[in-house]
Amino acid sequence: MSNTYYEFFCPVKVIAGKAALEHIPYELSGLAAKRPMIVTDKGVRAAGLLDPVIAACEESGLEIVTIYDDVPPDSSTTVVRDIAGVYRKEKCDSIIAIGGGSAIDTGKAVNILVSEGGNDIAKYTGAGVLKRPLKPFLVVPTTAGTGSEVTSIAVITDEKKGVKLPFTSSYLLPNAAVIDPRMTLTLPPHITAATAMDAMTHAVESFTCMAKNPLSDAYAAAAIKKVSRSLLQVMDNSKDSDARLELAQASTMAGIAFSNSMVGLVHSLGHATGAICHLPHGLCMSLFLPYVLEYNLETIREPLGELLLHLEGPEIYAATPASRRAEASISALRKLRDALYKRCQLPRTLKETGKVTEDQLDQIAEMALDDGSIMFNPKEVTLKDARAVLQRAWA
Amino acid sequence: MLAKRIQPLASQAKRLYVELMFQVMGRALQAVSEVDSEVQKEAQALPEGFLFEMMVMPDGSKLIVEYIGDGRFHYHGDSAPRPVDVSIKFKHLTHAFLVLSFQEKTSVAFANDRMLVDGDVSYAVRMTRVLNRLESFILPRIVAERAVKEYPADLHLPEKLISAAQIYLKIATHFVQTVRA
Ligand SMILES: [Fe+2]
């Protein structure tokens, strides 16, 4: 389907590579910030990942005023309010979020409160509520997958009402994303695999869904190439910091791609499965990816075929007849999943997760149909279709 | 003010067309929800009293319907009795015209950033499906195929003919009632 109109936007400065953390003091001073607060979680602190950040700042005479390290995996409105309270009490003037999706989303939400005032983050939910830039905000991702450092959305749970509040505004984007290979070096194998497959899915869906455009395509294709080349390398040698950096960059690039061209049915099914069966997001992505591509196949044959070049490299691409490339791309992804299963038992079917029962599939299908990303799936999905894909992903 | 006076006729025609289409869709939506079990099934997940709006930014034509329970929608014209729950906003009159004259599919318009969703996205997704169903009902197949991603396979011709006739009939009586009132 030719798309004759598109928009592309990414104003985040990307600071990536060796000794990237040491650029934090300079970046903050450029934003006139002198009293940063770190927002992170216990896991990051326990892994010793705060040390290089603190050292980098101290060496430049920049004091980290306070550290909040108790962000839960599913951040809530209360947590956001508490952190904003600490920020105000300590007279901070900027935020450094260090962690995965939850810490980053929390940082974004805290930034709304401390910039706009008040204690009730629910007031700012929705799209386009914010009308002006927020406080200086840096993000240091410690997983290579979510791409949250370049997306203009944050999701926070309102525990009292039991709902997830979405916040969307380009003002949520950080001033800079700092990608340093030291930050992902200690990520355990199964999280490395799952988060990298999340990035892979962002790129593949962005390249094959309805809002694809030439700019997001370029980012998506490059991200797919990096994940394909580096993921197994990292799985075999977790201390390979060059390959780690490749994955981290791929995640950011895939994030830029999908925040401009959206994702599709893999995410709809994944969000529903995650919510109902409490499975990690990346795992669900890896699990559903080939089944959804098979479902979409006839609508996405051309772009999916093109991806073979980035998945398998020029030799295999050239040796595969054009009419077989789309199928070959799916096989390449299945092969990668098998390799990951061998190395860290990353499940390939719902049954393999051991956490889903067959009688939950109807409920998952229903919920997937209400997910926003289903609007961008290239093929219209009915309840029956969603159920059929789930059945194929069962075992 | 000057700009208003020299506004080309084409733009006025677009405005009128969009306004008229909103009215037809609003009435049709109410009518379809009284006869079509698929639309009713979709609607039943909505909270009663749920208000849905489609509008042209910044302050153009509007279409407002309310879910009144039992799978039924009620068309409110262009004014809402209270703040709406979900609003689909076209960024410009031209974009609304493209979609409502079936030159751009609703899903493509979403993908192309022609419109914004304000409110709970899952309800917006549901309403998009309802609108797709509606379009396949009230439009001749050839036009409907242009408007929706996929023409529903379960909409067989006799059913369609009968239902469409029912709906047109209802729209017609609704128009008459409005004129009389
Ligand atoms: Fe994702």
For chains A and B, count residue pairs whose Cβ atoms are closer than 8 Å. Answer: 58
CB-based contact A210 B45, cutoff 8 Å: no
Higher pLDDT, B28 or A341: A341
Q: How close A258 comes to chain B (CA, Å)?
A: 12
Higher pLDDT, A13 or B161: A13
**Range(s) within chain A of domains with CATH label 1.20.1090.10:** 187-394
Class of domain A187-394: mainly alpha
What is the rounded distance in angstroms from the CA atom of residue B38 to the CA atom of residue B50?
A: 18
CB-based contact A128 B110, cutoff 8 Å: no
List the single range of A127-131, A313-317, A372-376, B1-5 with lowest mean pLDDT.
B1-5
List the single range of A192-196, A304-308, B9-13 with lowest mean pLDDT.
B9-13
pTM for this model (two decimals): 0.88
* Architecture of the A13-182 domain: 3-Layer(aba) Sandwich (3.40)
Both tokens of residue A243? Answer: 């390959």
CB-based contact A127 B125, cutoff 8 Å: no
Among the partner residues B45, B125, B148, nearest to A375 by beta-carbon distance: B125
What is the rounded distance in angstroms from the CA atom of residue A127 to the CA atom of residue A333?
A: 35
pLDDT at A3 over 70: no
- On whether any CB of chain A is under 8 Å from the CB of B126, the answer is yes
Q: Give the closest residue to B45 by CA, choosing from B110, B120, B118, B115.
A: B120
- Other CB atoms closer than 10 Å to residue A229's CB: what's the count? 16
pLDDT at position A163 is: 83
Higher pLDDT, B41 or B154: B41
Q: Determine the 3-state secondary structure of B85 from DSSP.
A: coil
Q: Which chain B residues have a beta carbon less than 8 Å from that of A298?
A: none
CB-based contact B121 A128, cutoff 8 Å: no
Q: Which chain B residues have a beta carbon less than 8 Å from that of A169?
A: none
CB-based contact A166 B45, cutoff 8 Å: no
Q: Which chain B residues have a beta carbon less than 8 Å from that of A3?
A: 108, 111-112
Q: Give the closest residue to A168 by CA, choosing from B114, B124, B118.
A: B118
Q: How close A295 comes to chain B (CA, Å)?
A: 14
Contact A102, A71 (CB under 8 A): yes
DSSP string for residues in A207-227: HHSTT--HHHHHHHHHHHHHH
What is the rounded distance in angstroms from the CA atom of residue A264 to the CA atom of residue A293?
A: 10
What is the rounded distance in angstroms from the CA atom of residue A95 to the CA atom of residue A35?
A: 9
Q: Give the closest residue to A269 by CA, choosing from A153, A366, A166.
A: A366
Q: How far apart are the first and last CA of chain A?
A: 33
Tell how far the Cα of B37 is from the centroid of ligand 1, in angstroms: 34
pLDDT at position A274 is: 93
pLDDT at position B172 is: 52
Q: Assess: ipTM above 0.95.
A: no
pLDDT at position B157 is: 47
Per-domain residue ranges of chain B: 2-171
pLDDT at B179 over 90: no
Q: Is A33 exposed, middle or buried (0-12, 13-18, 19+ CB in 10 A)?
A: buried
State chain A's mean pLDDT as an integer.
95
Higher pLDDT, B135 or A92: A92
Percent share of chain B, pLDDT over 90: 24
Identify the closest residue of chain B to A163 by CA–CA distance. B120
pLDDT at position B170 is: 60
Helix locations, chain A, DSSP H:
24-30, 42-46, 50-59, 77-89, 101-116, 189-208, 214-236, 241-261, 265-277, 281-306, 308-312, 314-319, 325-344, 350-353, 361-368, 383-394
Class of domain B2-171: alpha beta
